[in-house]
Amino acid sequence: MESLHSFFKTGGEMEGESDREREMEGEGIEHRTVEVNGIKMHIAEKGDGPVVLFIHGFPELWYSWRHQILSLAAHGYRAVAPDLRGYGDTDAPLDVAAYTIMQLVGDLVGLIHSLGQEQVFVVGQDWGALVAWHLCLFRPDLVKAVVNLSIPFISPNPTHNLIDYWREIYGDDFYVCRFQEPGEAESLFAQVDTSMVIKLFLICLKPGPLIIPKDKGLQGAFDEKEITLPSWLCEEDINYFTSKFNLTGFTGGFNYYRNLNKNTELTAPWMGAQVKVPAKYIVGDLDLVYHFAGMKDYIHGGGLDGMVPSLEMVVLEGVGHFSHQEKPEEISDHIYEFIKRF
């Protein structure tokens, strides 16, 4: 499989472990590679029992779920967290078209089968939530229950050009629009040290749309002159993310956004379909997604309930987009209390 990683890694680097990975192994988290859907996927796992699959978002890795892995394993579950395609130590195909929602869900289906499971619990955040919702839509037979953070389920609508919609509301500098042109977003991110990119995204508590003006650059978009890490994030965490993205770059993650309109075409057969898997949705009231145009009305006005009939919802006060890292114990408890019913 030809991948972006071949341009950034030697064979030894692909097989090697970081110091942080070795430390996590000391806590019982193990790492291995599985072949799924035509790619090699890196997974981290710990525990025995029913499988809980943790799906990360942008710009993250399996490591984002480090707290939940330990917590759910302690509760008697087998916690499994992959690096999604294009991220970390998983293959990153070169073709933008290799990152459609069909491929992403196909990876999870292959992973579930490789784990020898007929059904699993699924937990997603950001893009991981979007992929998890579609797994429930396409293959509800594989999912016992789902807990998703930040991104609500929105039924496919092939008549809705999502990029044009956001461009009309927020303009060309809306971050999703800035990510569309191959090379442009890569150049934008390259102007800032990788560790700064990770810090800017993870600690952002700026409710509302992320606008990246062409005359300001990435750091100016966040209005951050100096970065002070919050108590829930340490330099060791930043260093782990940075070490992986320094090797891979961010193109794999950008390619998810570059398939948003294509995904509306591919999912046309599911237009208006409901997610009928038991579901819990958690969002922070400072999450930028929560403040997208029309999102609160959809979430609280019956739209989301209509699309996910078996839904429970939690809004966390004073919490941003990366709630699983910001409030790890609280999120772990929400996950456990929900899935243990099933």
Catalytic residue among 5, 56, 321, 324: 321
Neighbour count for residue 330 (Cβ, 10 Å) = 15
The separation between CA 244 and the C-alpha centre of its own chain, rounded to angstroms, equals 16
Closest C-alpha among 27, 16, 19, 9 to residue 236:
19
Is the distance from CB of 31 to CB of 21 less than 8 angstroms? yes
Angle formed by the axes of helices 127-138 and 101-114, nearest 10°:
70
Determine whether 321 is an active site residue: yes
In angstroms, the CA 24 to CA 156 distance is: 39
Catalytic residue among 175, 240, 257, 290: 257
Is the distance from CB of 135 to CB of 142 less than 8 angstroms? yes
User: In Å, what is the CA distance from 290 to each residue of 134, 319, 320, 323?
Assistant: 20, 11, 9, 13
The separation between CA 140 and the C-alpha centre of its own chain, rounded to angstroms, equals 20
Instruction: Compute the chain's Rg from CA coordinates.
Output: 19
- What are the beta bridge partners of residue 51? 78
Catalytic residue among 83, 89, 126, 237: 126
The single-letter DSSP state of residue 17 is: -
Residues serving a catalytic function are 126, 257, 321
